[in-house]
Amino acid sequence: MECKDCLRVFEEIGSALNAPLDTDELLGQIARVLVGRFGVSGCLVRLLSRDRRILEEFASFGLSDRFLGKGPVDPELSAWEAIEGKLVVIPDCRTDPRVQYPAAHADEGFVTVVIVPLATRGQVVGVLKLYAKERREFSQGELDTLQVVASFCASAVVHSMFHNVLRHINKTVRSSLEPRERLNAMVQLIAEDLRIKGTYIQLLDPSGKLSPLSFSFGLSGPFLDKAATLSGPILSEVLGGTMVGILDAAHEPMIGFGRQVEEEGITSMLFLPLMITEKPMGMLVLCTHRAYELSRDERALMRSISDECALAIQNALTYAAMKKQYDTLMEDFKSWVGQSGGYFPIT
């Protein structure tokens, strides 16, 4: 591929990025462009599952349903180097031990495979794969082009994740779920939409002290027991309305439970204040598998997410308080009716 062809790739991908497409449609368009411009037979984008145990199909072009349905793809058995952030070229996928399903590749006639990590600021969210039906060498310019394209794809995927969270939380706020179910649904959808290790919410009780952790997803009981004891500067900043990100939580002295963080498989932690009319009501905490530093746009989106969560919690607490008052009133009414023998005197 010549330099002018690389520019054509960027022009066509730029047009796709500016089009009003959903993320899966956008990546499908990018896969089509790469197949055409690189002269290969197929392109596939896979994203890591939340538990990082499976690479899930997200978008593709030029691949048969039989090949796409060959079975679950284990990141540790399928080019684990790419999950570590390294571009991988496999000259012959029919015999290379890094390929999980060599027979399926052979049946499709594939020989050379290129696997590019989808990474943004150190966080690998998936892989982009190109499949060629002949043994082929890719120039450094071509590989550099693929890495730039992969960074565009990763940014689009992450951006979509944050907007999905906002949309789903907004839907949860207006749902008819009971307050406890609503909060449990929120922590789960945040972890699943962002594909992170886990998340939890800790609220202030009426006396202004943090209550035990009741709403969490993806995290163990022993870890949550230690997390509930957080104190000091981090807690003060968060309850003061400041978002606090810790890149290496296991080795941050201010965390205070680094051993449990490491045992839990957590690298970064993001502490978000839950505020209503500038008053703290608790905090939302996100835990990631790998070190991840939010961009300015992502920080703004996370602030919007925490604001939506605070609103949902406020609504849930208001509903719970009103329901308690209603239940008490009804009990008093039933008691009065029982004592009066069921008669309602007319005056």
Residue-wise pLDDT for 35-45, tens only, equals 999 999 999 99
Residue 290 lies in a domain: yes
Q: What is the CATH number of the domain that holds 17?
A: 3.30.450.40
> What are 61's strand-pairing partners?
43
Of residues 69 and 160, more confidently modeled = 69
The phi and psi torsions of 218 (rounded to 5 degrees) equal 85, 5
Q: Give the Cα separation of 68 and 59 in Å (integer).
A: 10
- In terms of Cβ atoms closer than 10 Å to its own Cβ (0-12, 13-18, 19+), residue 291 is middle
Within a domain: residue 328? Answer: no
Please indicate, yes or no, if residue 345 is contained in any of the structural domains. Answer: no
Identify the pLDDT of residue 342. Answer: 57
Q: How many CB atoms lie within 10 A of CB 222?
A: 11
pLDDT mean across residues, the chain = 85
140 and 242 together in one domain = no
In terms of residue numbers, what domain contains 180?
175-321
Whether the predicted model's global pTM rises above the 0.85 cut = no
Question: 47 — phi, psi (to 5°)?
Answer: -110, 145
Determine, yes or no, domain membership for 232: yes
Per mean pLDDT, which range of 48-57, 147-156, 291-300, 310-319 is the poorest?
A: 310-319
Q: What percent of the chain has pLDDT over 90?
A: 44
Range name among 174-188, 264-278, 332-346 with the lowest pLDDT average: 332-346
Same domain, 33 and 179: no
In whole angstroms, what is the distance from residue 49 CA to residue 172 CA? Answer: 23
- Which residue, 104, 125, 160, sits at the end of a domain? 160
Higher pLDDT, residue 185 or 248: 248
> HSE on the CB side for 342, CA within 13 Å?
0
The model's pLDDT over 93-105, given as tens digits with 9 standing for 90+, comes to 999 999 999 999 9
Looking at residue 347, what is its pLDDT? 47
Q: Provide the domain count of the chain.
A: 2
State whether 142 and 200 are in the same domain: no
Residue 287 has pLDDT above 70, yes or no: yes
User: Do 100 and 226 belong to one domain?
Assistant: no
